[in-house]
Amino acid sequence: MYRKVKRYALPFLIVLLIIVGCQRDKNADYENAVVFRMAEIHPSDYPTTLADKEFARLVEEKTDGRIIIKVYDSQQLGEEKSVLEQVQFGAIDFARTSLAPLSEFATELNVLQLPYIYRDGDHMWKVLNSSIGDFFLKSIEDEGFIGLGWYDGGARNFYNSVREIRTIEDLKGLKFRVMESELMVDMAKALGASVTPMPYGEVYSSIQTGIIDGAENNFPSYDTSSHYEVAKYFTVDEHVRVPEILIASTMVLDRISEEDLEIIKECAQETQMFQREKWQEKEKESEKKMRAEGCVITEIEDKEAFVKAVSPIYTKYAKDYMDIVKQIQVMK
């Protein structure tokens, strides 16, 4: 009996030693890798988060495990404004952020989020994937950020708990939360709304308790935040298309080579179409769900009064870049 057990135990022991040896090699590789943290405010199944994870996977694969990026979703590392401050001085290495809070650090980015500057989503992507988009990715380096690539953030729309919005006059008297951006505050005021800037995480309870009447965002965020539960009137006015941007801290360069930075940028570009496809899927899914939940969805067909009301925003926020504004407007 002992000999029989011994005969079977020896091969088992050999296999076990091989597995343990491989695991040690894997752990050694991990210990030798440069490990970075990446911040994401959205939940794990959100389109930008899925793209963040794909980006991290590609970076690890294409650097042969030399660089590992760990994605922290669901605001684990803080709200976007706090995250950006930490990226700026190197406490966080990478982030996916909306352009709006980043524009508070680099005001030239306001050009890309001017109200009604894009005819539609296709127009926005032609701009972002042109030399104009490349110029703005490069422009943020002096502020401590490396622009890696663009993601889709859809079109932002107003929603509220009080009434249906059909005309610009219907916005008057309503209190909205907007993104923590001076441009967004001025835009909402120009449209006749009252504005209460606040962190994204406080919106649900603030609508519920009447501190504000509503907010503005895209269909997926309206869905995943459950804001539709407390604000059933959703108005498709598409006042802004605010691109999402992948960024790194310039302090990352202290830990990697220029060659690896180029690989990282290539991976960011490669995940753009992945994210756009996931975004379109989620957008359709969320709109269908919102309609099924009984939300009142109103589409603004004639936006002339809205466009006219926000025209002073262009002068205030883009006066030094009006040549680029004109290039964007005429781009086909």
Q: Where are the beta strands (DSSP E) in the chain?
A: 34-39, 67-72, 94-98, 145-151, 155-160, 175-177, 194-195, 214-217, 233-241, 244-249, 296-299
The reported pLDDT for the residue numbered 30 is: 58
Integer distance in angstroms from the first to the last C-alpha of the chain?
82
DSSP category for residue 321:
G
pTM attached to this predicted model: 0.86
The count of other CB atoms within 10 Å of the CB of residue 23 is 10
Q: Which residue ranges form the domains of the chain, and what is each CATH number? A: 19-153+242-284 (3.40.190.170), 155-241+287-330 (3.40.190.170)
The reported pLDDT for the residue numbered 300 is: 95
CA geometry: angle 51, 147, 261, nearest 5 deg:
85
DSSP category for residue 92:
S
The reported pLDDT for the residue numbered 198 is: 87
CA-based nearest residue to 109, from 267, 303, 293, 318: 318
The reported pLDDT for the residue numbered 8 is: 45
Q: What type of residue sits at position 283? A: E
The reported pLDDT for the residue numbered 203 is: 97
For 192-231, how does the pLDDT look when each residue is reduced to its tens digit (9 = 90+)? 999 988 888 899 999 999 999 999 999 999 999 999 999 9
The residues of the chain scoring below 50 in pLDDT are 1-28
Q: Is residue 156 within 8 Å of residue 217, measured between CB atoms?
A: yes
Angle between helical axes of 311-318 and 182-190 (0-180°, round to 10)? 160
- Dihedral sign of CA atoms 201, 207, 211, 212 in order: positive
- 125 SS3 class: helix
The reported pLDDT for the residue numbered 171 is: 97
d(CA 61, CA 53): 12
CA-based nearest residue to 63, from 255, 246, 247, 259: 259
For 96-136, how does the pLDDT look when each residue is reduced to its tens digit (9 = 90+)? 999 989 998 999 999 999 999 999 999 999 999 999 999 99
- Distances in Å between the Cα of 36 and the Cα atoms of 251, 255, 302, 318 are 11, 10, 47, 35
